[in-house]
Amino acid sequence: MNSSDWMNERKLNILRAVINDYIMTAEPIGSRTIARKHELGLSSATIRNEMADLEEMGYLAQPHTSAGRIPSVKGYRLYVDHLIRLTELTLEEVISIRNAISEQAFELNRLMRHVTSILSEATGYISIATIPKMNQNKIKAVQVLPVEPGKLLVVSVAEGGIVRNRLVRISVTPDPNFVQKVSRVLNSKISGLNMNEINLEVIRGIKEDIQVPDSMLMPILDAVYDCIGSIDSNEAYVDGTVNLLGYPEFHDPVRVRELFRLLDEENNIQQLLNRDETNSTNVTISIGTENRLEQARDSTVVSTSCPMGDSMMSSIGIIGPTRMDYSRVISIMKLDRRLFKNEFEKLYNGNNSEET
């Protein structure tokens, strides 16, 4: 146990009991409660003395003189690193989450929104996620569709099932043959290219093949380029913000407002999920003051990375009170990571392979 080797088993068992009870009740825990609920073979007086020692050592805190104890950040850290016993999800829960994630996974953005929604619902906390910048992502297909007179819809599909579309206004109403020709030429010229490879030579070749005035073609090309540019930008997702209002730690409107403002900025979400990708298979837990951002220092962030092909990683995470049900959240996070990987591989490879 390294940092906890010098602590005796009795203190560790009491600390685990205090944290488990506090997670469930949100009320300071007294020695009598521990003696009554847990079969530790210790008297209330002995437990009280051990809790006083744990407080002096920095693992517990006493919010009021007459109250019981609550865990400190140091106590939670020891708990999640050495004392936690992970919840084993029921078969029904696993099947429910698996079925929910596999639904409607037609493209990456929809899949990520779906995953964050399921994660917040399954844990009862806020879920956040990011997709990294993908400036080497290749275009798979471009389609131009007539919408109404003077309007066209440009749809771009990239690797990984990422879809973007833009509405284009042109001065004339093109005939269907023109629209089909534009789609055919665009696919022949830019399918398989990334944004950096669509240069002036490629654009010149498109113009030569389509043979229409720039006033008609350039709005379409601008829309295609805009779609590709948005594919290559970072994406951030947030779901379940209302969940935190049910926890007593978040009854303070000022605290809630600061956290919600934090989540309004994509860069902040990136920082909350900023991880060491060399440990991509692990779940990372940042508790209270361990978080980089001031507004998150009363909360816990649990995150993990999700592989996207051979070299890219997205990240998903949970934000909740430091009094988080760590055991259940970690189990759900590991399951979601594995299921996301399966669904991404289906989108990216166009097959139905599944990791067991």
Block residue for tokens 């730690």: 249
Q: Residue 351: its pLDDT value, please?
A: 46
Instruction: Work out the widest C-alpha separation in the chain, in whole angstroms.
Output: 91
CA 17 vs CA 36, 95, 245, 331: distances in Å: 11, 31, 26, 20
The whole-angstrom separation of Cα 48 and Cα 65 is 14
Confidence at residue 314, expressed as pLDDT on a 0 to 100 scale: 82
Q: What average pLDDT does range 305-333 have in this prediction? A: 86
User: Which tokens belong to 148?
Assistant: 């109404």
Domains of the chain, first to last: 2-83 (1.10.10.10), 91-132+235-349 (3.30.450.40), 139-231 (3.30.390)
d(CA 343, CA 108): 9
Output the six-digit token pair for 299: 């909360």
* pTM, rounded to two decimals: 0.73
Per-residue pLDDT, averaged over 269-277, amounts to: 73
Return the pLDDT at 104: 57
Distant-in-sequence, close-in-space partners of 194: CB < 8 Å, separation ≥ 6: 135, 136, 137, 138, 139
What are the residues whose beta carbons fall under 8 Å from the beta carbon of 27, sequence distance 6 or more? 68
- Of the pLDDT bands very low, low, confident and very high (cuts 50, 70, 90), residue 322 is very high
pLDDT at position 276 over 70: no
Full DSSP string of 210-235: H---HHHHHHHHHHHHHHHHHHTS-E
Least confident among 53-62, 82-91, 96-105, 132-141: 132-141
If one compares 4 and 304, the residue with the highest pLDDT of the two is: 304
